[in-house]
Structure 1
Amino acid sequence: MNIIKLKRYKQILIATLLLFSMVKSGAQDSQIPQGELSFYLKEVNSMLHVELFDNGSGETCFGAGVQYNYYVTRGLSFSGGLEYQPYRSKIILDDFTDSYSLIDSEGDDMIFRSSANLYRERHTVRMLNIPLLVQWETKGLSTSFFTATGIQLGIPLAANYKATVDGLETAGYFPQWDALLTSPRFMGFGEWDTQQSGKEKLKLKSSYSFLFELGIKQRLKNEFRHLYVSVYLELGLNDLKNEKNQQTLISYNVENPTDFHFSSVIYSYSQASGYNYVNKIKSQSVGFRIRYSFGW
C-alpha cells in the first residue's frame, strides 16, 4: 500500500515538474522587452507643400534619429524620439507680371512694373522633429508586421530660400507726365539677364504633423535585436507661415535701382491683382525608414 502511494506521489511530482517546465518555457517564449532603443535612417521625398500651386515639387532627402519604445504588451508599444530632417522644395511661376506704386529718389510718384518668363524659388528647411507614436505588431517567431501612427512636432532649426528669375523686364510709369520709361538701365528699367538672389532667411512656425508607418520587423540572432524596414508618411496639419504682412515679390531699390530685391513667394502677393501667391504652406514627406533596435 505504501509502495502504491509512493508511486502516485512520484507520478504527481513528475507531472508537476513537467507542467512547471512547460509554463516556464511558454513564459520565455512570450517574454516581452521592458524597453527598446533604436536608431534609424530615412530616405524621403520631403517638401514644403504649397496649397495654391500645382507646380511645386519636393526633393529626396535623408534624415536620422533615435527612438525609444515602451512595451505595454508584446504587440503594443508607445514611443517617442528625436530626429533631424531636412525639407527641400521648389516653386515655379510662369509668365509673372506685377506693378506697384512708390516714390522714386527724386520724390516723384512712380509705378514700377515688372514681368518675367520664369520665376523659380528653392526652399531649404532643417527641422528637429519630435515624433510620438503608437505601434502595433503581429505575432511571429522571427518575422512580424507592424504599423505605427501618431503626431509629430517639428522645430525649425534653419530655413532659407533662393530666387532665380529668367527673362526679367522692368519699366517705370510716371502718371504725372503719362510717361512710360523702359530705359535707361541705370534707373532700373530694361531687359535683364538671369537674376539671382542670395540665400535669404525664411521665417517659419513650428509644424504639427500626422504620421503613419507600415512595415516588417525582423528578429536578428539575439531575441531582443530587431531590424525594421517600413514605408513612412508625414502630412502637415498647420500653416507654417509666420508673417501676416505681405510683401512685393520683386521690389524696386530706390537707392540702388539696378539691385532688385526678391521677397519669398511664400510671403508675397500681387499688388496689381491683390491676391496672395501662397495661401498656406505645410510640411510633407513620404519615403522609407530602416531602423535597428535592441531591447532589455
Structure 2
Amino acid sequence: MKTNNIKAATKSAISGLAFILALISVQGQALAQSKNEVSFYLQGSFSKLKFEALGQDSEMENGFGLGAKYAYYITENWSLGTGAELQYMEGSIFLPTVQGSFLTQDAEADEFEFRYRATNFSENQEVYFLNIPLQVQYESSGTVRFYGAAGVKAGLVLNSQYQSSATSLETSGFYSQYDVELTSPEFAGFGEFGAVKNAESELELKTNFVAHLESGVKLILENSQALYMGLFLDYGLNDIKPDASRARLIDYNAQNPTDFGFGSLLSSRRDINALKDRDEVRTLAFGIKIQYAFQF
C-alpha cells in the first residue's frame, strides 16, 4: 500500500515537475523572443522625375538613400515599422529642339518679338527628400527568412535644383513697327551662339507621397542581429510639379542681352507650354537595399 502511494506520489511529482519545467521553458522562449528591432540601411537605385515635355519622356538616372528604422513585432512574423530616410534622386530630359517667342523691349525701350531656337536642350534635376515611412512587414521563420514589406512614405523636400544647357542657341528680334527681323548684332542678343548653360537654380518641388514595396532575404545572425538583402520600389502617388512661375524658358535681358538664362521646363509657362496642365510630375525609384538590424 505504501509502495503504491509512493509510486503515485512520485509519478505526480514527476508530472508536476515536468509541467513546471515546460512552463518555465515556454516563459523563457516568450522572454527570448524580441519585440523590438532597430535597423540601419543603405540603398542604391535608378530614379527619375517622371514626366513628359514636348513629346519627350524624362530619362532614368541614379540615386541613393540611407536611413534608420524601428519595427515592433506584433507576432513572430508580422511587424510595424517607421523611421527616417534621406533619399537623393536625379532626373533629366533631353529635347532635340526647343523654340519659342515672346514680346519684350530692348535697351532703348522699343518693343519687339524675341525669337529663339535651342538645339540639344537638356535639363537635369537633383532632389533631396526626408522621407518618413510607415510600413508593415511579413517574414517567414528560420535562420534564413523570406520577407516582404509594403507601406507609404511622406517625403519632405530638403533641396531641389535644376540645371539646363543647350549646345547652340539661335536668336532674332522681329520689330513689327519696322517689319524687319534682326539676326544680328550679337551684342544686342541676336545671332548664333555656341553652348549655353545656366547656373543651378531652385526647383521648388512639392511634398512627395510614395507607395513603397520591398522584398528579399533576412539572415539571422548571432546575438540577436540580422542582415537584410532585398529589392525595393518607390512610386510617387501625387503630382509634385512646382507652381507655374512667371519665368520664361529662355529670357531676354535688355541690360545684358548676351546673358541668357534658362527656366525649368517644369514651371516655365509664359512663352512655351512645355508641360500641359493635365501632365503630372511623379517620382520613381527602384534598386537594391542592404539593412543591418538588431533586436532587443
**TM-score w.r.t. structure 2 length?**
0.92
In the alignment, residue 14 of structure 1 is paired with which amino acid?
Answer: I
Q: CA deviation at 1:12?
A: 2.6
Q: Could you tell me how far apart the structure 2 residues matched to 1:218 and 1:275 are?
A: 49
Q: CA deviation at 1:58?
A: 2.7
Q: Could you tell me how far apart the structure 2 residues matched to 1:235 and 1:78 are?
A: 20
The answer on 1:89 being equivalent to 2:91 is yes
Change in CA separation of 1:285 and 1:275 when aligned onto 2, cut-off 3 Å: closer
Name structure 1 gaps, 5 residues minimum. Answer: none
How many residues align? The count is: 293
- Structure 1 partner of 2:275: 276
Q: Is the 8 A contact 1:205 1:241 kept in 2?
A: yes
Q: Could you tell me how far apart the structure 2 residues matched to 1:188 and 1:213 are?
A: 53
- Structure 1 partner of 2:260: 260
Change in CA separation of 1:114 and 1:211 when aligned onto 2, cut-off 3 Å: same
The answer on 1:132 being equivalent to 2:134 is yes
Structure 1 residues 15-45: Cα deviation after superposition (integer angstroms, max 9, x where no partner)? 3333443454455556531211001111111
In the alignment, residue 82 of structure 2 is paired with which amino acid?
Answer: G
Q: Could you tell me how far apart the structure 1 residues matched to 2:143 and 2:276 are?
A: 52
Task: Using the TM superposition, name which of 20-29 and 40-49 deviates more.
Answer: 20-29
Pairs within 5 Å for 1:200-219: 200-219=201-220
Q: CA deviation at 1:152?
A: 0.4
Task: Using the TM superposition, name which of 47-56 and 18-27 deviates more.
Answer: 18-27
- Structure 1 partner of 2:226: 226
Pairs within 5 Å for 1:102-181: 102-138=104-140, 140-181=141-182
Change in CA separation of 1:275 and 1:45 when aligned onto 2, cut-off 3 Å: closer
Q: Could you tell me how far apart the structure 2 residues matched to 1:62 and 1:208 are?
A: 18
Query: What's the secondary structure of 2:178's corresponding residue?
Result: coil
Of 55, 67, 70, which residue of structure 2 is paired with 1:68?
Answer: 70
Q: Is the 8 A contact 2:63 2:88 kept in 1?
A: yes
Q: CA deviation at 1:270?
A: 6.8
Identity %: 33
The answer on 1:287 being equivalent to 2:287 is yes
Q: Could you tell me how far apart the structure 2 residues matched to 1:75 and 1:265 are?
A: 47
RMSD: 1.9
Name structure 2 gaps, 5 residues minimum. Answer: none
Q: CA deviation at 1:50?
A: 1.5
Query: What's the secondary structure of 1:260's corresponding residue?
Result: coil
